[in-house]
Amino acid sequence: MRVSENPVPFETFRALPKTDLHVHLDGSLRVETILDIARADDIELPATDVAGLTAAIGCGAQFGSLVEYLRGFDITLRVMQSEAALERIAFELAEDAHRENVRYMEVRYAPMLHTRRGLKLTRVVEAVLDGLRRARETFGIKANVIVCGIRNISPESSYQMAELAVAYKGGGVVGFDLAGAEADFPAKHHRQAFQLVRDNNINCTIHAGEAYGPESIAQAIHVCGAHRIGHGCRLREHGDLLHYVIDHRIPLECCPSSNVQTGAVKSLASHPLKLYFDLGLRATVNTDNRLITDTTVSKELHLVHREMGVPFADIKAIILAGFKSSFQPFHEKQAMIRRVIAELERYDDDGQLRSVNTPAAQAERPARIRTSTSTSVRPDAE
């Protein structure tokens, strides 16, 4: 068990600037909002109060498998079938992220799951973009969208989602993903969808190495052309592929608590994130599902520090990796990275804010944040 001695307090993690690159819209609603929409739209739920509904969804519970974990989405999706609901849910997700100082997020979801009441796919996409835009105007948080295909639905539906990603490229959609049940539903079956998005120069990320072995990660990268990998817990089983991912700076979107919930890893202490980081892999920390996993980015980073024994100096590098790995255009990303580096350097390696007003502090050059491949921070591509 690797537990940090004298851990940096949770409040420091809340105060740090952060990203959330792997967060599902349909797994990140407020329980109160689900109840509210259900009441207004006359939608049946398994419970009518916060405690009952939290238990029915299994927020924060150990599910033991990805398929069991995914059952909670059946409840959340019931209230996500109108434009007003989608706009509100997207806005509130960005508001919750803003409250813990997330500066940039990429919200993912599969629009085809929101047409049960006859909504057009274009309206599904636009309602979510509207909510994220309103959050940006209100709070300043920047959020883009990743459109998902679902492994266990059909390659045809993934292709339709890919067409949607192409249609909204430049309008707030920055990527394409493949989610859903990983075992028995290989990514290669959806290769036409990935070909279409890549032909249109759109970024791809794929959930892989979560509920299946390293072959799934290899397929995501080599057959589908993934630029990032969701989870990648089982990458450690294949040294050669692991080094390929490191050499090509392919970021992993790690979601530690979710990985314990789905049984992808046994415990936080046995999560491979620290190993990956120490080997130089570009590892990022994300929530996956704020409601179903009952988490925030601050909470995940704090757990990485406290339960996995990752030093605070490395936490700063992991945060920076999140900004570096985003699917934003390079120059927008670079400007954000410069600002974030300046903010992170205000903290020393023990998580203490450096005093900026004393002459001694002014004379002292700020310590550099260690990154995965160098001893100084480079704001450009690393």
The residues of the shown chain that bind Zn ion, judged by CB under 5 A, are: 288
Under 8 Å between Cβ of 71 and 61: no
- Give dist(CA 45, CA 297) in Å, integer: 28
Nearer to Zn ion, 25 or 341 (CB): 25
Active-site annotation holds for 163: no
Indicate which residue of 210, 253, 300, 307 is catalytic: 210
Spell out where the chain has E strands: 18-24, 102-109, 142-150, 173-179, 203-208, 228-231, 252-254, 283-285
Q: How far apart are CA 380 and CA 382, in angstroms?
A: 6
> What is the C-alpha to C-alpha distance for residues 348 and 225, in angstroms, rounded to an integer?
38
Shorter beta-carbon distance to Zn ion: residue 22 or 316: 22
Q: Which is nearer to Zn ion, 176 or 312 (CB)?
A: 176
Q: Minimum distance between the CB of residue 339 and Zn ion, rounded to whole angstroms?
A: 28
Tokens in use for 287?
């929530």
For residue 286, the minimal CB distance to Zn ion (Å) is 8
Q: How near is the Cβ of 355 to Zn ion at its closest, in Å?
A: 41
Calculate the CA 357 to chain-centre distance.
Answer: 37
Distance from C-alpha of 95 to C-alpha of 318, rounded to nearest angstrom: 23
Residues β-bridged to residue 203: 175
User: Which residue's C-beta sits nearest to Zn ion?
Assistant: 288
- DSSP state at residue 270: G
CB of 243 to Zn ion, least distance (A): 25
Classified as helix, coil or strand, 123 is helix
Q: Shortest distance, CB of residue 245 to Zn ion, whole angstroms? A: 18
Strand 228-231 versus strand 252-254 pairing type: parallel
SS3 45: coil
Closer Cβ to Zn ion, 283 or 341, answer by number: 283
Q: Which is nearer to Zn ion, 20 or 288 (CB)?
A: 288
| Positions marked catalytic | 210
